C-alpha cells in the first residue's frame, strides 16, 4: 500500500514538472508588423522658419537603379510656429517591405507656399528589420528657396509663384521627352494636358489617364488618377509604370529658362516635357 502511494506521488510530480517546462503558446498576431523610425531635423544656419512651414520625411525603396524608387512611408508635419530641431516619427508597415530591399530616408522643410527651404543632401540608409530605428539628428542644407529639388537640371530657373490653378501649366499639351533621365522609347508618346479647372489628362505611354491636380507656388499634387487598361509591349509598360509612379508621388515642378516643364517626385525622379 505504501509502495503504491509512493509511486503515485512520483508520477504526479513528474507530470507537474513536464507541464511547467512546456512553453506558453502566444497567438500569431503578437508578431511585429510595424517599424517606427524616429529622429530630428535641423540645420546649422541661424535662420528662423516662417510660421506655417512644413517638414516631410519620406522612406523609399531604392533597391533598383533602373526603376523609380517606391515610397513605403511618409510623414508630413505642419510646424506652426515651431523652430528646429524638429522631431519626426514615421511608421512603416512591414507588409510593404521586400526582405531584400534597400531603404533610404529623405527629409525636406518647405515654406507655407511650398518653396523648398531645406533638404537632406546625403543618402541615409534605414534599417527596417527591427521594431525601432533612431536616426539621430539629421542636418539639412539650403534648398535654394523658390526652386524645386536641386541638381538634376542645373539650368532650371522657376518663374514666380503661380497666381492660381494652372496659370502656367494650362494651355497647349506638354509632350514628354524624358523620364528620370532615361529619355523615352522611340516613336512612343507620353503627354500631359492641364486645364485651368484643376483637371489633367494625357497619355502615359500605353494608356490614357485623367486626374485632378493642384498647383500652388512650385508645389504640385495629382489626385484620383484613373487609366484605361490596354496592354502594350513590356518595354512600353515599364516606361508607363515609371511615368505613373512619378505622377502619383509628384510634389514639385519648375519651368526652365528654355521652357521645359520638369515634374519632381520626392526621391528625385523627374518627368521633362515641352510644348
Write the CATH number for 238: 2.40.128.270
Whether 104 is covered by a domain: the verdict is: yes
- Going by C-alpha positions, the residue among 52, 120, 37, 115 that lies closest to residue 82 is 52
SS3 166: coil
- Greatest CA separation found in the chain? 107
- The predicted pLDDT at position 13 comes to 52
Residues 121 and 179 in one domain: no
Q: How many helices (H) and strands (E) does the chain have?
A: 2, 17
Among 56-70, 134-148, 152-166, the range scoring the smallest mean pLDDT is 152-166
Instruction: Give the other-Cβ count within 10 Å of 51's Cβ.
Output: 11
Mean pLDDT of 107-123: 85
Give tens-digit pLDDT for 187-224: 999 999 999 888 999 999 999 999 999 988 778 899 88
186 and 111, same structural domain? Answer: no
Number of domains in the chain: 2
State the sign of the Cα–Cα–Cα–Cα dihedral 58, 59, 60, 63. positive
**How confident is residue 67, by pLDDT bands cut at 50, 70 and 90?**
low
1 assigned to some structural domain: no
Residue 22 C-alpha cell reads as 512546456
Cα–Cα distance measured from residue 239 to residue 186, given in angstroms and rounded to the nearest whole number: 12
At residue 46, the pLDDT reads 81
Rounded to the nearest integer, the mean pLDDT of the chain is: 79
- Using an 8 Å Cβ cutoff, are 157 and 61 in contact? no
Residue 274 has pLDDT above 90, yes or no: yes
Residue 78 in this model has a pLDDT that exceeds 60: yes
User: Which string of b and e fits 182-218 if b means at least 16 CB within 10 Å?
Assistant: eebeeebebbbbbeeebbbebbbbbbebebebebebb
The DSSP call for residue 84 is S
147 is a domain residue: no
Average pLDDT over residues 226-237: 93
Does residue 267 register a pLDDT over 90? no
Could you tell me the three cell numbers for 218? 512650385
Maximum mean pLDDT: which of 43-57, 94-108, 157-171, 236-250: 236-250
Question: Do residues 129 and 96 make contact, with C-beta atoms less than 8 angstroms apart?
Answer: no
Q: Which helix (H) or strand (E) holds 129?
A: none
Whether 5 shows a pLDDT value over 60: the answer reads: no
With respect to residue 27, please indicate whether it lies within any of the assigned structural domains.
no
Mean pLDDT of 158-162: 35
Are the beta carbons of 220 and 253 closer than 8 angstroms? yes
From CA 190, how far away is CA 177, in angstroms rounded?
8
Mean pLDDT, rounded, for 75-90: 92
* Average pLDDT of the segment spanning 211-239: 90
Phi-psi label, residue 259: left if phi above 0, alpha if psi -120 to 50, beta otherwise = left
Q: Domain of 96: which CATH number?
A: 2.60.40.2990
pLDDT score at 167: 67
Count CA within 13 A, CB hemisphere, residue 173: 10
Last residue in a domain, options 142, 159, 194? 142
* Residue 6 domain flag: no
Per-residue pLDDT band for 166 (boundaries 50, 70, 90) equals low
Looking at residue 153, what is its pLDDT?
30
In a domain, 164, yes or no: no
Please give the residue range of the domain that contains residue 108.
34-142
**Reduced to 3 DSSP states, what percent helix, strand and coil does the chain have, rounded to the nearest 5?**
15, 40, 45
Q: What is the DSSP letter of 223?
A: E
Model confidence, pTM: 0.45
Which of 24-28, 33-37, 165-169 holds the top average pLDDT? 33-37
Q: Which residue has the higher pLDDT, 27 or 120?
A: 120
Q: Which residue has the cell 515609371?
A: 242
Q: Would 66 be classed as within a structural domain? A: yes
> 18 in a domain, yes or no?
no
- Name the least confident of 33-47, 150-164, 194-208: 150-164
End-of-domain residue from the set 142, 164, 183: 142
pLDDT at 186 over 60: yes
Residues 187, 237, single domain; the answer is: yes
State the average pLDDT over residues 135-140.
90
Q: Using an 8 Å Cβ cutoff, are 204 and 228 in contact?
A: no
How high is the pLDDT of residue 263?
A: 92
Amino acid at each position: 500500500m505504501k509502495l503504491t502511494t509512493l509511486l503515485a506521488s512520483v508520477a504526479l510530480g513528474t507530470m507537474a514538472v513536464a507541464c511547467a517546462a512546456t512553453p506558453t503558446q502566444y497567438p500569431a498576431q503578437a508578431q511585429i508588423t510595424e517599424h517606427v523610425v524616429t529622429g530630428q531635423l535641423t540645420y546649422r544656419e541661424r535662420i528662423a522658419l516662417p510660421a506655417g512651414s512644413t517638414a516631410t520625411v519620406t522612406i523609399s525603396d531604392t533597391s533598383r537603379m533602373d526603376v523609380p524608387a517606391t515610397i513605403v512611408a511618409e510623414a508630413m508635419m505642419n510646424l506652426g510656429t515651431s523652430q528646429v530641431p524638429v522631431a519626426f516619427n514615421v511608421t512603416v508597415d512591414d507588409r510593404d517591405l521586400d526582405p531584400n530591399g534597400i531603404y533610404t530616408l529623405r527629409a525636406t522643410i518647405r515654406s507655407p507656399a511650398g518653396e523648398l527651404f531645406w533638404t537632406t543632401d546625403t543618402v541615409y540608409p534605414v534599417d527596417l528589420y527591427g521594431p525601432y530605428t533612431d536616426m539621430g539628428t539629421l542636418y539639412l542644407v539650403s534648398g535654394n528657396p523658390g526652386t524645386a529639388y536641386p541638381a538634376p537640371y542645373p539650368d532650371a530657373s522657376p518663374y514666380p509663384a503661380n497666381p492660381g490653378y494652372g496659370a502656367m501649366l494650362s494651355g497647349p499639351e506638354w509632350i514628354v521627352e524624358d523620364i528620370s533621365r532615361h529619355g523615352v522609347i522611340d516613336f512612343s508618346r507620353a503627354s500631359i494636358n492641364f486645364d485651368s479647372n484643376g483637371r489633367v489628362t494625357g497619355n502615359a505611354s500605353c494608356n490614357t489617364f485623367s486626374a485632378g491636380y493642384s498647383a500652388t507656388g512650385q508645389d504640385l499634387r495629382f489626385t484620383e488618377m484613373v487609366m484605361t487598361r490596354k496592354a502594350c509591349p513590356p518595354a512600353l509598360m515599364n516606361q508607363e509604370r515609371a511615368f505613373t509612379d512619378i505622377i502619383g508621388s509628384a510634389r514639385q515642378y519648375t519651368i526652365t529658362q528654355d521652357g521645359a516643364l520638369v515634374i519632381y517626385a520626392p526621391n528625385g525622379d523627374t518627368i521633362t516635357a515641352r510644348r
